[in-house]
Amino acid sequence: MKLGIVVEGQMGLTYAQQRAIATRAESLGFDAFYRTDHYESFPGPEDQATSDAWSVLAGLARETRSIALGTLVSPVTFRLPGEYAKVVATVQEMAGRRMHAGLGAGWHESEHRRHGFPFPDMPVRAAMLEEQLSIVRGLWSGPDGWSYDGAHYQVRDALFRPKPDPVPWIITGGEGSPRGMRIAAAHADEFNLTSSTPQIAREKFAALDDACRAAGRDPSSLVRSAMTGLLVGRSQAEHLAGVTRLMARIGGSGDPEAYLAPRRPRWVSGAPDEALTQMRAFRDAGAQRLLLQHFLPLELEPLDLLAELRDAI
């Protein structure tokens, strides 16, 4: 099972700090580095500095050599589809390797309001997502003169240069709604399941198989991944100390065990044995890639431990 590292880039992280995480992840042989695509800081203080995800990835494209880079995920409300297609293709050219383009419907209302982005109702955003996915793939791989006539976007007589080769890797996902699975079956290279236990992941991946077959697609052609929180330590005491630091970072307080209780079933957390058991459970549930949200991103030592665990899965 391949492992990728995810950081919440909106939580006050500078470019230098994100670069340090990405280069450490690459040196340890992790498969990918992703960052979220948000313009408002959360959880915790909402006035922390934020940065644009694709601008950061453009910088990292020149400062790394082999690790896959991408977003999890870019809201369709932030960028028009032609702009998104051009940005991703440009960063891929800068990187000299395939970019991972995560696209989603968006959900954080206040960052849209505060930055002047439209935020229509969820059914509209889902329809926008389907159209954007059709358009970006059409621009990247369609013939010259390709056109698209949708309810939200139209393309006429496309002439996209340079054509990215290979076409960027498209990731969609969510908590496994029927519509989300149908969208993935129709458009994605990878379906990323969020907020799930291994037991639920097994059920959702089985439903994803059904969605692929209903769309006339071989289920094995769609890669499955799970995104989960990461809080590990070399001992239980070290692990709980890290949980306490996370709680302080996001403005929480109280008993770290109580904070963890509802999260343990779906996070990779604890001392090595517990974390390794959870990672194996996701693998056995059908996850081909595990994308781990590094909740203490200013601390690089947990990545060293995670690399050791990866080699023992």
Joined together, the tokens standing for residue 184 give: 């993935």
Which residue type, as a one-letter code, is found at position 215? Answer: A
As a whole number of angstroms, the distance between CA 285 and CA 201 comes to 6
Structure tokens at 120: 């229509």
Helices (H) and strands (E) in the chain, counts: 11, 12
Residue 265 vs residues 25, 139, 141, 270: alpha-carbon distances, Å:
25, 41, 41, 11
**What pLDDT, on the 0 to 100 scale, is given for residue 233?**
97
pLDDT at 253: 85
Q: Domain 2-310 in CATH: superfamily? A: Luciferase-like domain (3.20.20.30)
pLDDT at site 252: 85
> What b/e readout covers 143-153, taking b as 16+ CB neighbours within 10 angstroms?
eeebebeeebb
pTM of the model: 0.96
User: Letter for the amino acid at 30?
Assistant: F
What pLDDT does residue 251 have?
86
Instruction: Kindly report the backbone phi and psi dihedral angles of residue 198, in degrees, each rounded to the nearest multiple of 5, phi listed first.
Output: -60, -35
Sequential pLDDT tens for the chain (313 residues): 999 999 999 999 999 999 999 999 999 999 999 999 999 999 888 899 999 999 999 999 999 999 999 999 999 999 999 999 999 999 999 999 999 999 999 999 999 999 999 999 999 999 999 999 999 999 999 999 999 999 999 999 999 999 999 999 999 999 999 999 999 999 999 999 999 999 999 999 999 999 999 999 999 999 999 999 999 999 999 999 999 999 999 988 889 999 999 999 999 999 999 999 999 999 999 999 999 999 999 999 999 999 999 999 9
Give the integer Cα–Cα distance in Å for 200 and 282: 10
Of 110, 23, 109, the residue nearest 59 (C-alpha)? 23
- Burial grade of 6 (CB within 10 A; 0-12, 13-18, 19 or more): buried
- Domain-wise residue ranges, the chain: 2-310
Instruction: Centre a 10 Å sphere on the Cβ of residue 273 and count the other Cβ atoms it contains.
Output: 10
